[in-house]
Structure 1
Amino acid sequence: MAAADWGPGVAVPVELRRERHMVCVEYPGVVRDVSKMLQTLGGEEGVSRIYADPTKRLELYFRPKDPYCHPVCANRFSTSSLLLRIKRKMRRQRGAPGPEAHPKVTFDIESLGIVSTVYKFQGMSDFQYLAVHTEAGGRHMSMYSKVLMVKPEKENFFHQELPLYIPPPIFSRLDTPVDYSYRPETQHREGYNNPSISGENLIGLSRARRPHNAIFVNFEGDEVPEQPLEAAAQTWRKVCTNPVDHKVEEELRKLFEIRPIWSRNAVKANISVHPDKLKVLLPFMAYYMITGPWRSLWIRFGYDPRKHPDAKIYQVLDFRIRCGMKYGYAPSDMPVKAKRSTYNYSLPITVKKTTSQLVTMQDLKQGLGPSASASARKLASNKYKLKDSVYIFREGALPPYRQMFYQFCDLNVDELQKIIHRNDGAESLCTERDGWCLPKTSDDLRDMMSLMIRHTIRSKRPALFSSPAKADGGKEQLTCGSGDEDAEDAEDEDDEDDEDDFKPSDGSENEMETEILDYV
């Protein structure tokens, strides 16, 4: 669009191309060759892969062919910008001699697209370690040809004499300056002596105990509590401020009348209650078992599962999806996402996810008061409810996470229930490992559930079992699927001593520990 007739300071109309969305990279250098510039960013494929994941940072390698090159990272930002192409044209006027022959200048403005994402390199570059050895005369010798294997080599390649080259085991996880807030050391007066080591001089918890007042019981404990602590009752009365809270209390009370033992996920799947209020309500209704076959579960006050053989259907099963080449799929191939991990450190090439918004009292009461509309109450009634798949196992459906805590009664498969009820009427002793069930009951349940999940994954992703290598590793799936129970037993016996059978999945977290920390 020509802008010759527009004066200075006047807005120029530009036709927007809304169908073209672009990504901007503020490259920290002078670009003379676009292809070489893209190589430093990982190529078009690498840039597309980073752009597809909002949690990743764009990496720039100044020496893309050097495997020891440490990248600098760009942060991702949202923006609302335009990419314009402006051409300045000059036309000299003919026949006008002297200083009056001023050239005629015109500008052509064209909108190429809308920029919605921009990557900015705001951090500092880390130290670069080169595979170079300095000889005695000061001459530098490259060692890349000796430390990098680019083709199959013979044994002599690994026994050649090389100078010592040890790169750092880890680089800095931060690329932006941090204020350490250094303070001077404490200066004591003359004659001061450190106090003796005693309980009163030791530093305890860095925070006050959370006022939820839950009662924890071990399997070896003698008696179970009959009623909650008075502090727990008072805390619930303080937060029970509207009719919906009273309704939630009655619903939870009915749940414990129907079934004396519940997991927190099962409660959250049956009633809609804010998580912060559930932390206060559960200690008012039940006590928490820490060890034994009912660990990590909430048990109704006055009910002792160690004295009731019929309580075996409420025992907990710690189930983890098995993965590995012998099962036909690797952890990265599993169509089940991993939970967050305590060891999921924030690396320089990643960014933290957006934190959850704080909930105000107005948010808690919105749609819950007596003056709220019917539509608002209906919306709030299911706002915090979870899907029943978080605590119920069904054949043909994959668990939502790689590590799950199921109760025996929530295993909705007839074959699994037959294993649980093998000793009905013959329960004689309640043990800490197996409860009222026969020994190795949990192991048998895990084996059968793993077999069902393997068949489900195979039906959902048959490509994982198509290659010869994976087909060999998946022989046990084929034999089990054909009904050959003897082959299945033989495979299970061979795998009993394999440590990988019960290896925690990547990203799994200890839910029981997390729940206990909510109350201490």
Structure 2
Amino acid sequence: MSDQGEDMAERRPLPERALLSVEYPGYVVNADKAIRSIGGSKKLARDATEDIGMPVELRYRYDDPASHPINGKIIPTEDLLLKVTRRIRRSRERGTEPSSENVQVRAEVVAVLDKTVRFRKLSDFQYIVPRNDAITQFSSLVNGIDIDAIKRLGASSVLDDPLDATAGYIPAPFIDRRGWPAQYQPAAGGGTGNDGSQPMDEARRRRDTTKQVFHGVYIKFDAASVPIHASPAAEQERQSIPADVLEKAQRILAESPVVSRNAMELLLPQSECSGLKLTTIMPALAYLMESGPWRGCWIRFGYDPRKDPDACKYQIMDIRHASVGASGGRIRLNPRSGAGQPQPDDAPRSGARARTYIYDDDAVRQKAAGIFQFMHVKVEPLRGLIDYANGRRRVPCEYSGWLQPSVMRTMRLKLRAMKRNSCGVLQGTDELAVDYAELDKAINADRKAEAEALAAEQLIEAREASSAHGQLSRTVRERVDARVDEFMKALGVQDGTDPLNEATSDGDAEDGVDAYADEFDIFGYDDASDDDGQQPYQPE
């Protein structure tokens, strides 16, 4: 056996035993009291097995009903519980230290920790309510379900005494409801403004009066039509915008009727807008979508990207990265000087700091994040998936726009692989390659689902149109006859005969169809025909 084989660790199967791990925020001296402080073993078992999503409450004073809990949650984990045994073989000679050859360490996997209870929030100061308070006593007895003690308390005169508000017998309020640390930046000067030159009330009033109101027009992806002009408030605000700024914004929208907000901020910077913000300029020229593949983009009035297949290049791709420090941990609220903090030049770009709307190789290396449009994506394999002609839809959908959903899912998977590759996790480029044979199979399934959805929509539209005219249209009649034929064939397959085939059926095929059609009365148009002089069926 080679040296590499001798160095390999022994492989053993994992045990089937699964345990619940509790990361208790404290030094546990009495395990029973610690379990009781988080609700007891029965409640923990119920929360872990039923997975109802309720928080696990930790109460250090579990006997006090006024104790405010620290909320934790049960999360899935993939940890192992090890049992480490250390055996020392003593030497016969006294006073000698045991050598490394006489020490044996053995590690054994006892169980799998598939779920863990974690408490990430911080405990805050709490008000202590006196135990001789009547409300506290009654709440403790109710929580303990002590019926006899509740009866004795009700028979006494404790609850009859008036509540003294000055004695502090009030429910303990929360000091902090969030449980997370927050940055505190007090204003300079206690009762003055930021510069101390004016009172706080006057400064607040001035800020309220200068607060900008957004007059943009929002629509949803499934809106019937798109707006063709701005709102009256935006038209009125348009008069205060310089003509050269409006002309430049109109040129940008003329070249590209859909522009992401990130690209617009770079193409039309605030320094060239006479100090005006885009939220003041753009509502007079474009509208916004709340959902769909063009959400958050400035769209020129009158242009509907849902009716233009070429609008696929204007769709957006949201790229995000985890915001972590240089060491990979959480960002410190008050970082010490030096100590592993990234410098501004070496820090990775975030979505707010990205100074480009082009997603190329340089942006991938710098871990750029933000909203990028398809026409600005230059890296493979994303560019190849966007240009893949077989992956287009007949009509756009809210999830993937003009692309098939399988193509969009493949793009997301490859984007994750690119992120791991930029971090040095991937070995090679096999995960970045696209299997177009498997992709075509998924695209065919998407096309079948799209065709069924379109057929259902067309049938509904035909029924609505026929209802408006008071009679069933020819298209609806043909579709109903086709569905009846399919139903009759299915019945014939189940019985071993074909009702529509004269050789296998007892009677005439038309008689069988008429009999079943009369029985089921599809849409009711069989009850009256145009040949007998009666009026056609009119749906209610």
Greater percentage in helix? 2
Which range, TM-score by smaller chain? 0.3 to 0.5
Larger CA Rg, structure 1 vs 2: 2
Higher relative contact order (CA 8 A, sep 6+): 1
**TM-score normalised by length of structure 2:** 0.37
